[in-house]
Amino acid sequence: MAVAKDLATQQVMEQAVEPAAIAAGRVPRRRPLGLLGYLGLGLILSAPIGALSVAAIAGSQQATETIEPREAMPVWRVSAARHGGFDVDAPRWRPLGLRTSVLRRSDGVSRDLFLFGEATGEHRHAAMAVDRGETGQAPAEQDIGALIADLGLPARLTPSHEALASKFGLLPTADIAIDGPAGPKACLGFALRSAEARLRVVGWVCNAGPEIVNRADVSCFIDRLVTIGAGDQALAAIFVKAELNRQPCGAVQPGVNAGAPRLFHNEGQARLRLRRL
pLDDT at 246: 87
Output phi, psi for 87, to 5 deg: -150, 155
Single out the residue of 171, 163, 169, 194 nearest to residue 244, CA to CA: 169
Q: Which residues contact 218 (CB under 8 A, 6 or more apart)?
A: 164, 173, 188, 190, 204, 205
Contact 272, 236 (CB under 8 A): yes
Cα–Cα separations (whole angstroms), residue 172 to 70, 175, 190? 33, 11, 6
Blockwise average pLDDT, block size 10, the chain, 277 residues: 45 43 44 47 45 42 47 74 82 93 90 96 95 91 96 95 95 95 93 93 96 95 89 89 85 42 38 46
What per-residue confidence (pLDDT) applies to 99?
94
- Write down all domains in the chain, each with its CATH number in brackets: 76-245 (3.40.1000)
Q: Mind listing the pLDDT tens digit for each residue in 206-221?
A: 999 999 999 999 999 9
DSSP 196: T
**pLDDT per residue over 67-90, tens digit each?**
444 456 778 888 776 667 899 999
DSSP assigned state of 211: S
Distance between CA atoms of residues 175 and 188, nearest Å: 5
pTM above 0.75, yes or no: no
